[in-house]
Structure 1
């Protein structure tokens, strides 16, 4: 049975959805998503004998939304994960992250190896701390037109808030494997300065095969209530987070790890992404035809990969 509740941790209150009993597995969503992104995996992992917890991360959904950009650094996000593990009376967990949740999962394994039994990143390949601040670096490289730089602009809030249903319909379709523009080479997430972000995204004639109107409503209705500002603050805090994690420059993740991506995912062709994926020393799986929203687009395959990983690494200490 799936239950909803709230956990007080790290100075805030997080909405969590949980199911099952057994070793703890945390599922961390990305932007602009919710716990609901894991709706297909939660019951399957619970049925296999795991205690599955999927939070709305800080700034999202029914969780608290602190009011300062400085409240969304990687240290805050990792602190929330560690707090959740301990709040459930556990010493360690397997941490799975998708999109922006992937670096949170990876950095949790890096900063707190004692807490992470294993780590899986979906769509966003794992990377260590770069030598220069990411927002500043991409601004200089692409003249402020890279999507993360466009998302840090104050205009992004109002644009996404204006009609959340349109925002989600265009965003979920454009980055999906169902979008013909991502075959054979995914689109580049570089948005010209004279173009609104949503105007750069495709308007689908119909929803992707993996998303129905009721599911779309869950995302759109939730963000219509909460707004996008606190979720966008994750991007705005990137350089501050880079400054605060200097002590871990050169550190490596030692926990068992897995990366899963899709070959129609635009994040796979971002600057440096292919080189990063090619250089990975951890196991990796690239699903043909899959786009960015991989656990929703290909739920059975992702669930199977997670169950295989958990069977090998999810019940013992690293």
Structure 2
């Protein structure tokens, strides 16, 4: 049985790894999820994010997933996500497992759009789709895709955080949040695949623009009446969401063949309906991102054709 992890780590607390002897100084709490808390910590003048849990088995499963992803990406130029894994003993003499990951600087999705303006929404959305496409190409579903698990850096570059819900294709999704879950909306199973994340992404789009109406809708609907059409009805009352109704419909109904197709369709919507581009100059990473996504799409189509699909 899992016990709750409800104690606090004040700023300046030193965490001493039991096995590897690494020391970390706690700066502040970054967030908390279903199976632990994440703290901003410092070691040798470098900032990291440390996740601590009361459930060793659950945290180890998460570590195993991160290690598998790291091995798949060794040939690429991706920065290491997982830095350290160890245990530490708190003031009550209880050992808790933790892992340390790179710290991603950024703002929450809501905060970023509130500061920079909603004109950045299409850019952030595309960046997030490319992140998901990479994960899906490696046969992983993010699972617990929600506003809280997306950070946005300079020029709208999106990053996924908290990999606790990442699940291999074909398995039951490890963690999810009901409002983003296609099973909750009677739109499909909780079996991990790319379409599961695309459904969550569509709900995220609706929440960004109509959070109050979405909350009211979920509170009023009976379980048997939940359906993608109810979400589309909500989208039709918003001027921005109404322009992307076709895209939302395909994502909510699982009609995109793969995430690369969804990203390409998003680009087409973006070019057609964006009234004006963000005022900041386009960074090099975004230019490369468009090229990389096109190459990924071409590769996917090649293998689908070769397989006779």
TM-score category (smaller protein)? under 0.3
- Larger C-alpha radius of gyration, 1 or 2? 2
TM-score under structure 2 length normalisation:
0.26
Structure number with higher relative contact order (C-alpha < 8 Å, ≥ 6 residues apart): 1
TM-score under structure 1 length normalisation:
0.25
